[in-house]
Amino acid sequence: MGRAKKVVLAYSGGVDTSVCIPYLKNEWGVEEVITLAADLGQGDELEPIRQKALDSGASISLVEDVQTEFITNYAFPAIQANALYENRYPLSTALARPLIAKLLVQAAEKYGADAVAHGCTGKGNDQVRFDVAIAALNPNIKVLAPAREWAMSREETIAYGERCGIPSPVKKSSPYSVDLNLLGRSVEAGPLEDPYYEPTEEVYALTKSIQDTPNEPEYVEIGFDRGIPVTVDGRAFDPVQLFVHLNKRVGNHGIGRVDMIENRLVGIKSREIYETPALIMLIHAHRDLESLTLAKDVTVYKRGIEETYGQMVYNGLWYSPLREALDAFVSKTQERVSGTVRVKLFKGNATIVGRKSANSLYAEDLATYGAGDNFDHKAAEGFIYVWGLPTRVWSQMTRG
């Protein structure tokens, strides 16, 4: 008896997931492997990938374009939440996992599979995200992770594939592990494993080196509707095109690089390079618009929510009652977050230089230092007396 009869495998077309197909059948007694490749805007040609799965032994090879869903249902809520892990990583890889998990579960239910599978190893966060998301969506489906158990080196994996008729990769294999989608690019491993090693320019693909960026600043105006970016320079963009357009334009100025040591959920510190030009710029612009449109106490309270939100996405708890509850809070706050943010792109910086909104809470007659000041200066004195009273009493009592 095998571990499962019919399996839906998350498929990328790479060596590991290709080898998973014969491995599941030969080593684990799976009778039928259906592959599923998700198009998240990684720019791969999908027809060769679809065919490669069949050539590697899949009975059915599914390819699903979920780019719009990815941006609308995963990226936009994260932007509304200003979600960053450890204050820096905008979760470009992490946000894709719950969507892929959902596709796997849906396909398993449709084709009557008793298990789903992925090619993650046992050291990363992605295995946790897949396994937990799948369990949340359908606790009766088994999850198989061959690469977590097979203990083959890269060379052995390629050799195993060759014995099963899978051609070895044509390109000279890069020392880096790369994950790419519409939200950005993550790069780790190889020489980057030394945290003191400076990444060479070949590590980057979506952002220009500062040496090569334009010597003139460029301005871009982002229009938000209830916390969702909908226009660029006054022109409406659909969710996918917005990211395609902004990644190019913002990346051209060398904006969106992050080089960080992060704390993985499995307890390991790891070094990762991120390129997320559009996403990081949109989060900064969005947060700025919130500073104009949200009440002070809402902003302060929301900051705590944002921290938790980022951790939940990173830690694989997208499909969870807490994340849903946080989303309800965030959605309520976003009712006011409409307006325009003007951003200056120049030499690696996206600087917010202006913001406006019909919901602005900024009252110029209160803020001004010029004529037309309506703030009651005399009222400040009584306020300060009451505000400072506990401090005054504390001082008197403790200093004698």
The footprint of ligand ARG (CB under 6 A) covers 93-94, 125, 177-179, 186-188, 272
Residue with Cβ nearer ligand ARG (75 or 222): 75
Q: Which residue's structure tokens are 């009652």? A: 321
Please confirm, yes or no, whether 55 is among the known catalytic residues.
no
Residue with Cβ nearer ligand ARG (176 or 329): 176
CB of 268 to ligand ARG, least distance (A): 11
Please confirm, yes or no, whether 16 is among the known catalytic residues.
yes
Pairing of strands 235-236, 228-232: antiparallel
CB of 272 to ligand ARG, least distance (A): 5
Where do the H-state alpha helices sit in 213-295? 239-251, 277-293
Q: Which residue's structure tokens are 């916390």? A: 227
State the DSSP string of 36-68: EEEESS----HHHHHHHHHHTT-SEEEEEE-HH
| Catalytic residue of the set 177, 320, 331, 360 | 177
Residue with Cβ nearer ligand ARG (125 or 213): 125
Cross-sheet strand order for the sheet of 32-39:
60-65, 32-39, 6-10, 115-117, 142-144
> Which residue in 246, 231, 237 sits closest to 278, CA to CA?
246
Residue with Cβ nearer ligand ARG (186 or 357): 186
| Catalytic residue of the set 12, 61, 97, 357 | 97
CB of 42 to ligand ARG, least distance (A): 12
CB of 267 to ligand ARG, least distance (A): 13
CB of 9 to ligand ARG, least distance (A): 18
3-class state of residue 1 by DSSP: coil
Please confirm, yes or no, whether 338 is among the known catalytic residues.
no
| Catalytic residue of the set 56, 61, 92, 126 | 126
Please confirm, yes or no, whether 225 is among the known catalytic residues.
no
Residue with Cβ nearer ligand ARG (230 or 260): 260
Residues constituting the chain: 400
CA distance 310 to 146: 29
3-class state of residue 274 by DSSP: strand
The two structure tokens encoding residue 108: 């398993």
Which residues are marked as active site? 16, 97, 126, 177
